[in-house]
Amino acid sequence: MPIDIAQLQLQPNGTIALARQLYQLLHQQIMQGQLTYHERLPATRQLAATLNISRGVVVEAYDMLKLDAIVAGFGKGGTRVCVPSTQSPPPDQSKKSHATPPKIALSTRGQRIANSRNYPNRSQTREFPLTPSMPDFRLFPLKQWQRVAAMALNSSPKWYHRDGGLPLLKQQLCTFLAQYRGITNVQPQQVIITTGSQGAQSLLATLLCNSGDIALVESPCWTGTVSALKQAGLDIITSPLDNQGMQVPVNIRHKKQQPKIVITSAAIQFPTGITMTPARRQALVQATQAWQSWLIEDDYAAEYSYNHHPPPSILATSRAAHIIHIGTMSKLLMPALRMGWLVVPPALISPIVSAMNTLGLQASYLQQQQLGLFMQYGYLSTHLAHCRAVYNFRRKRACDYLQRYAKGYFSITDSISGMNISLRLDDRFSDLDSRQLSEHFKQHELGISVYRFQDCQHLLLGHTLLDDASYAKELDSFIHAIKTLTA
Ligand SMILES: Cc1ncc(COP(=O)(O)O)c(C=O)c1O
């Protein structure tokens, strides 16, 4: 079906640039199946003339679609759709359908799992430069990654591998954990490769707890943690944070109230960026021991510390047998790898590996081997050193800019580690609730997060993607969005 020109209603005086408006409308039509797989888009000149806009606007909109890999250029064959639609095409009114839709009845467990997600089931097709916790893919050492690709293909197992991860990667992660996280005395068998931190947390919640057990998390915390716990049917209780980290509840006395699992991002708490103090860690380790709970640390971006030693991991400071450590490559390399790891006490190795084999949850062996080689050749360390320097520079520059041009709207509660800047909004915004604020920033397409902490609204901005060319423009858009809140 050709493009529906009548639906391409552009607003020349709107706040969104014409090219973006056109991109969004085309994107929508493609995803709705209006344009089918491999169908040709109109020539840019022709569409520009039909819509009475400049050809440059159409070219820019097509380029955005190309960046999303939704369309591709085929030389003389023109620009064509290269994804299947995600929705069925608009119904053909001329034909009557007699087909009755199949009845879908999920099990109670299935419903719980499906409803636990906190994200829309849509892939993010565009990156917003202020999105928190995103590594800058432009810094990715592509050449080095490609250099080890062929080696990985030759040396990786071609059949099934059932040991919870490849030996090379496990070994490399042990070295990495000792060097960057101070975690020593871990045997490679204790490292289990997972599909990211989310995969690790879901697996642990499912394996270690019964439905109806209690899980204790920080408030606020990462939504991925909440979904992982909800899908396992856990009752979630929260503990507030203060400037020392998670407050350890002292009023849990009865066995029935004791959490089975406690999850913290102690090194760099998400979203606040707070590092848990040694005294708090000790109190938490002792309390979880007394409750006979598992203490799980999600050590998700702690390698990014800029002008002091990395905030310590709990596992580095305590060898207690109920501590489980989780790490991820999502922030060091990129989320698309879907690669993370668990460090578990010896008694848990066998049950977890069995469960992963039963559920078919192994991360790609080929990519594990590639990552193992990448680390063995020292490419990850070099990349991390480079990213640290770049992100630190971008962080400082963004803070200076915000302080210079938006003073009075917020204070920066910056920690000197991590990938984000936290802003505590001025009291005049305290009447707005988090949903209103989120909606406002969503409309401005900024990608920032909103959270409430210590009775104040906070915003979380990523600084890692703010390169020389874009930082002023992106921060100006953000400042404009803040100012319109008070208008
Ligand atoms: C606290 C926290 N943990 C872990 C992750 C990464 O999860 P994954 O490894 O599943 O990509 C994130 C991502 O933003 C996060 O905020």
Distance CA 263, CA 325 (A): 10
Assigned token pair, 277: 């103090």
Condensed to tens digits (0 to 9), the pLDDT of residues 432-443 reads 888 888 888 888
Lowest-confidence pick of 11-20, 112-121, 375-384? 112-121
Between strands 214-219 and 235-242, the pairing is: parallel
Ligand 1 binding site (Cβ under 6 Å of any ligand atom) = 133, 196-198, 222, 224, 265, 270, 298, 300, 328, 330, 335, 340
Q: Calculate how far, in angstroms, residue 18's C-alpha sits from the geometric centre of ligand 1.
A: 34
* Per-residue confidence (pLDDT) for residue 256, from 0 to 100: 86
Q: CB neighbours of 371 closer than 8 A, spacing ≥ 6?
A: 169, 172, 329, 333, 337, 339
Condensed to tens digits (0 to 9), the pLDDT of residues 469-478 reads 999 999 999 9
* Per-residue confidence (pLDDT) for residue 98, from 0 to 100: 60
* Per-residue confidence (pLDDT) for residue 125, from 0 to 100: 60
Q: Calculate how far, in angstroms, residue 176's C-alpha sits from the geometric centre of ligand 1.
A: 19
pLDDT for 124 beyond 70: no
Domain boundaries in the chain? 5-81, 142-380, 384-486
Mutate to test the pocket of ligand 1, among 118, 124, 198 (most ligand atoms within 8 A of CB): 198
* Per-residue confidence (pLDDT) for residue 42, from 0 to 100: 93
Can you state the percent helix, strand and coil of the chain, rounding each to 5? 45, 15, 40
DSSP 286-341: HHHHHHT-EEEEE--STT-B-SSSPPPPHHHH---TTEEEEEESTTTT-GGG--EE
CATH code of the domain made up of 5-81:
1.10.10.10
Please report, for the chain, how many H helices and E strands are present, in that order: 15, 14
pLDDT for 69 beyond 90: no
The atom of ligand 1 lying closest to the CA of 339 is 9
Residue nearest to atom 7 of ligand 1 (CA): 197
CB burial of residue 127 (10 Å; 0-12, 13-18, 19+): middle
Condensed to tens digits (0 to 9), the pLDDT of residues 227-245 reads 999 999 999 999 999 999 9
Q: CB neighbours of 78 closer than 8 A, spacing ≥ 6?
A: 40, 41, 43
Distance CA 265, CA 276 (A): 9
Q: Calculate how far, in angstroms, residue 77's C-alpha sits from the geometric centre of ligand 1.
A: 41
Q: What is the 8-class DSSP label of residue 382?
A: H
For 173, 197, 228, the CA distances from 120, given in Å and listed in that order, are 32, 18, 15
Condensed to tens digits (0 to 9), the pLDDT of residues 388-427 reads 999 999 999 999 999 999 988 999 986 677 899 999 999 8
CATH code of the domain made up of 142-380:
3.40.640.10
Query: Taking all residues of the chain, what is their mean pLDDT, rounded to a whole number?
Result: 90
Contact 327, 337 (CB under 8 A): no
> Which residue blocks in 40-157 are alpha helix, DSSP H?
44-51, 55-67, 108-115, 142-155
Q: Which CATH superfamily is domain 384-486 in?
A: Aspartate Aminotransferase, domain 1 (3.90.1150.10)
Condensed to tens digits (0 to 9), the pLDDT of residues 254-265 reads 888 899 999 999
The atom of ligand 1 lying closest to the CA of 329 is 9
Distance CA 191, CA 207 (A): 17
